[in-house]
Structure 1
Amino acid sequence: KKRIILFVFDGMDWQTTRAAAIAKTRQVGYEEGRGSGLHFQDYRGTTTDFGFFVTSPHNSGTSRNVDRQIVTSPGGKVPGGYDVTRGGPTPWQATDDLPYPIGKSETDPHAYTDSAASATSLCSGIKTYNDAVNVDFSGREVLPIARTLQAEGYAIGVVTSVPISHATPACAYANNVDRNDYQDLTRDLLGIPSVFHPGGLNGVDVLIGAGWGEVEDKDGSQGANFVPGNRYLSDDDLARVSVDSGGKYVVAQRTAGESGSDVLATAVQQAIEGKHRLFGYFGITGGHLPYRTADGDYAPVRSVGNPNTAKPEVYSPEDLRENVTLSDMALAAIKVLDAQSQRWWLMVEAGDVDWANHSNNIDNSIGAVISGDEAFKSVTEWIEQHGGWDDTALILTADHGHYLTIDKPEMLAH
């Protein structure tokens, strides 16, 4: 295929998908299988399929040295694994062994995956330890498919609703023994010398995500080369990649008083006309895009216990106007990639589904699924208008779940 899209709904298990479908359609429409109600469930514009898979890691509890980029305890503390007779043969069948899926079985403890191990599996095809970004259980580099395709002439894009170098987008392209080494992961993505690649990688052609405005004075997880300031991208690195300083990227970032969608659209046009790469940087306090919420009013309810109840996020008019949506990001990336090459690979991540589920916030979770579904719809419409599916392959998947249990699904319909 000439156009390949990996669409990841981070943390969206079968139950989260069903919750969003119920909330959107106002009815409990299914109890098993693929389901219906969301665009990605109902789309039949080409041949489609449905399935599920296990994303257990190689292990958890691996120690590593981020400055030396080595693993110091190969194999870690707890092995991964999955017993279908205990966890259940399908995602919709409840198990009687409730502690088992979350690794709390007294007789058979096991590790359950994080986003780094699962995204490494998706992008590089191996099992590895939790927190690894495209390295195996012993810390050896593995090559993500995007870099293989890039060497064959494909343009590469990465889009996410959470920070640009969080685990899933990082695994699309970068290498590191620790998913929390954010600035170095961004360097890999943008083709700047990093602790893992001192000579620098080629860099992706399009990177658009959140993390703008997130400032830290110290961050021990990022090693000795951490630069105080933006947690995900230092000011010097941002200046270095910009075409204004002789770099390769037209930079679009959240700008006071300006529409985020307009800022991004202008940068897309500049990148296409100048044959440049594109880097987009947006977000709110916390490092993600604003949650649209279940009813689309961008007014989240409070998060219930993880471990404590948290106040609801409150967005200013500027937070909404100066940012973009995942749909905006995905279409911007496609336009630039398609202008650069007839062959391209793109990851689109609805990463805020995971963040909402971590916070036990069903309002944000449903809203994030629907935002991702709207982005998926925008992508399918673009494909239909630009040559159709003959040259396009799209894989839509989750990477793990959160053990969401819905006792009264009918309540979500009201």
Structure 2
Amino acid sequence: MLALARTAHCARPEDPIAALQETNTKTNQTNGLHWGPNPKTYSNWTTHSNRLIPVYTFGINLDPVDGENSIYRSEAKLKSLFGFVPTKTVNPQAEYFDQTDVYRLQKMAANSGKKRIILFVYDGMDWQTTWAAAINKNGKVAYHEGRGTGLHFQDYRGANTDFGYFVTTPHNSGTDVNVDRQIVTSPGGDTPGGYDPNEAGDKPWSIPTDAGYPIAKGKNTKHAFTDSSASATSMTSGIKTYNNAVNVDYLGREVLPIARQLQDQGWHIGVVTSVPICHATPGSAYANNVHRYDYQDITRDMIGVPSLFHPGALRGVDVLIGSGWGDNKEKDGKQGENYVPGNPYLTQADKDSIDVANGGKYVIAERTPGRKGPDVLKEATAKAIAEKKRLFGFFGVSGGHLPFQTANGDFDPVGSRPSKMEEYTEADITENVTLTDMSLAALDALEAKGKPWWLMIEAGDVDWANHSNNIDNSIGAVLSGDQAFHNVTKWIEEHGGWDDTCLILTADHGHYLVLEDPEVLTGK
């Protein structure tokens, strides 16, 4: 087992980030960084925050939505967006824009003639998480604000590029639903959305005046912070909605994500993720559901079989590659009465029904004992292209994700306060694929079907690392995602270039990493 050497992490000078994580976890002392509003303990907040989130565009710019065009400068536009005017949110000087503008940017790209649109989402990667990874990769603290440098997505200039940042707050948090009936039972929730720049700051690197404000615990103002499904819905469907919603509005009414709008116009659709295929972000690329945890039904929408929300079935995506393989759960109350015991993300019956071997539309590549994951995926991709079929990939380890890469490039994570240490066998590594493998397979499969096409790529492990307050996993996840982005840009350059291609790279929300002494991440 690869885990056998991990107990020596703290004694290994060649792995300083693992040693830092292990020490901080054991002592709960800050040692240069901490998670949460309390600067006296290393781990004191393990969920999301209301920080402004960076966005990097390639092939388009942000002029139509930022600065003087910001929704946040207009009370009327905010009322149209939220259905009310959030308190202390109008800002006549706002340079930032809104998460829903990512949807509008994609619409504008398609209308302007772009034929390939890629939405690259690092789940949970705020400016501070990016900064930490860049510091570690550079071996120095090269910047303290702005776009930054050192990561490929920060430095790439092979296409027209722009940088900005947006607000992620949802319509509300606290809305209740009935999954079996697919309805909202208490619209409006208990905490409304909004963004107060005087409390949180007007830039992603700003230090909040009230440390409790970004997590809805402000002394003066309380605004809801988003979850991944509400935020992804904003980026794919252009609306504000409640936390846990998947492409439904705050009343539970269906909205059409851009992928389905484009599909109706003849576009091919792909979704890639390092976490479960039906998790909040990839699910919001295509499906509809009143609750993000109704996994099996969300998958049904994505693969084109009948679901509770769509008993007549959607068309399904052309490419779906992600994780969730090997998990088993006999009961799951969050998924309602139609839950089928077994894999919580994909039932055996649904998988069988889509398999080309049974007359279905998908060539299936899944983790196979004794076989290298990249080989399995490449063979399936070639078969799907040759036979003009769809492509479905299903990989992962226990827990529903790909193996977590650490800051040094290995797959040997140490523990964290909220989560136990993950241990991987040699097979867990060799039988799986990477985000790069999945992204390139999706690009090849979509391009073979012909333009136009739309693709979401999600580096979901950033979010899982930050929820665990694990700086080693967090840096590793950003770096593995950056490697995937690097390979995507190379693929684009080798397949016609950027003239008809647009890529938006961003995150769906922030966490609460604070670097008091960024030098500790240089590895020196």
Q: Deviations over 1:258-298 (max 9, x none)?
A: 00000000000000000000000000011111112000121
AA aligned to 2:221 is D
Q: Say which is worse superposed, 284-293 or 348-357, in terms of deviation.
A: 284-293
Secondary structure in 1 aligned to 2:370?
Answer: coil
Q: For this pair of structures, how many residues does the alignment match?
A: 410
Cα deviation for residue 76 of structure 1 reads 1.1
Cα deviation for residue 57 of structure 1 reads 0.3
Q: How does 1:360-399 map to 2 (within 5 A)?
A: 360-399=469-508
AA aligned to 1:278 is L
Q: Deviations over 1:18-59 (max 9, x none)?
A: 000011111111000000000000000011000000010000
Q: How does 1:73-84 map to 2 (within 5 A)?
A: 73-84=186-197
Cα distance in 1 for partners of 2:428, 2:307 equals: 32
Q: Deviations over 1:159-200 (max 9, x none)?
A: 000000000000000000000000000000000000000000
2:439 paired with 1:326: no
2:276 paired with 1:163: yes
Q: 2:383 aligns with which of 239, 254, 270?
A: 270
Q: How does 1:276-315 map to 2 (within 5 A)?
A: 276-303=389-416, 305-306=417-418, 310-315=419-424
Cα distance in 1 for partners of 2:214, 2:320 equals: 34
AA aligned to 1:409 is P
Q: 2:462 aligns with which of 349, 353, 356?
A: 353
Q: 2:297 aligns with which of 168, 181, 184?
A: 184
Tell me what 2:232 maps to.
119
Cα distance in 2 for partners of 1:194, 1:108 equals: 40
Cα distance in 1 for partners of 2:490, 2:460 equals: 22
Q: Deviations over 1:345-404 (max 9, x none)?
A: 000000000000000001001000011000100100000001000010000001101011
Q: Say which is worse superposed, 203-212 or 291-300, in terms of deviation.
A: 291-300
Secondary structure in 2 aligned to 1:207?
Answer: strand
Cα distance in 2 for partners of 1:72, 1:23 equals: 47
Secondary structure in 2 aligned to 1:337?
Answer: helix
Tell me what 1:129 maps to.
242
Tell me what 2:148 maps to.
35
Tell me what 2:453 maps to.
344
2:122 paired with 1:13: no
Secondary structure in 1 aligned to 2:236?
Answer: helix
Cα deviation for residue 214 of structure 1 reads 1.0
Secondary structure in 2 aligned to 1:72?
Answer: strand
Structure 1 unmatched ranges of 5 or more:
none
AA aligned to 1:234 is T
Cα distance in 1 for partners of 2:194, 2:461 equals: 26
Cα distance in 1 for partners of 2:423, 2:407 equals: 15
| TM-score, with length taken from structure 1 | 0.98
Cα deviation for residue 109 of structure 1 reads 2.0
Secondary structure in 2 aligned to 1:53?
Answer: strand
Cα distance in 2 for partners of 1:341, 1:57 equals: 36
Q: How does 1:83-232 map to 2 (within 5 A)?
A: 83-232=196-345
2:368 paired with 1:255: yes
Q: Deviations over 1:274-331 (max 9, x none)?
A: 000000000001111111200012111111x23xxx3321111000000000000000
Tell me what 1:240 maps to.
353
Cα distance in 1 for partners of 2:455, 2:126 equals: 22
Cα deviation for residue 110 of structure 1 reads 2.0
Cα distance in 2 for partners of 1:105, 1:93 equals: 16
Cα distance in 2 for partners of 1:395, 1:362 equals: 25
Q: 2:167 aligns with which of 54, 57, 60?
A: 54
Cα distance in 1 for partners of 2:376, 2:153 equals: 29
Cα deviation for residue 340 of structure 1 reads 0.7
RMSD: 0.7
Q: Deviations over 1:323-342 (max 9, x none)?
A: 00000000000101011122
Cα deviation for residue 408 of structure 1 reads 1.0
AA aligned to 2:174 is G
Give every structure 1 segment of 4 or more consecutive aligned residues whose post-TM-superposition deviation is greater than 6 Å: none
Cα deviation for residue 106 of structure 1 reads 3.6
Q: Deviations over 1:88-147 (max 9, x none)?
A: 000101112110011001432221000000000000000000000000000000000000
Secondary structure in 1 aligned to 2:286?
Answer: coil
AA aligned to 1:359 is S
AA aligned to 1:252 is A
Cα deviation for residue 85 of structure 1 reads 1.1
Cα distance in 2 for partners of 1:46, 1:107 equals: 44
Of structures 1 and 2, the larger Rg is shown by 2
Tell me what 2:117 maps to.
4
Paired residues of 2:132 and 2:518 also in contact (CA < 8 A): yes
Cα distance in 1 for partners of 2:299, 2:355 equals: 14
Secondary structure in 2 aligned to 1:367?
Answer: helix
Paired residues of 2:191 and 2:222 also in contact (CA < 8 A): yes
Secondary structure in 1 aligned to 2:233?
Answer: helix
Secondary structure in 1 aligned to 2:161?
Answer: coil
Secondary structure in 1 aligned to 2:436?
Answer: helix
Structure 2 unmatched ranges of 5 or more:
1-113
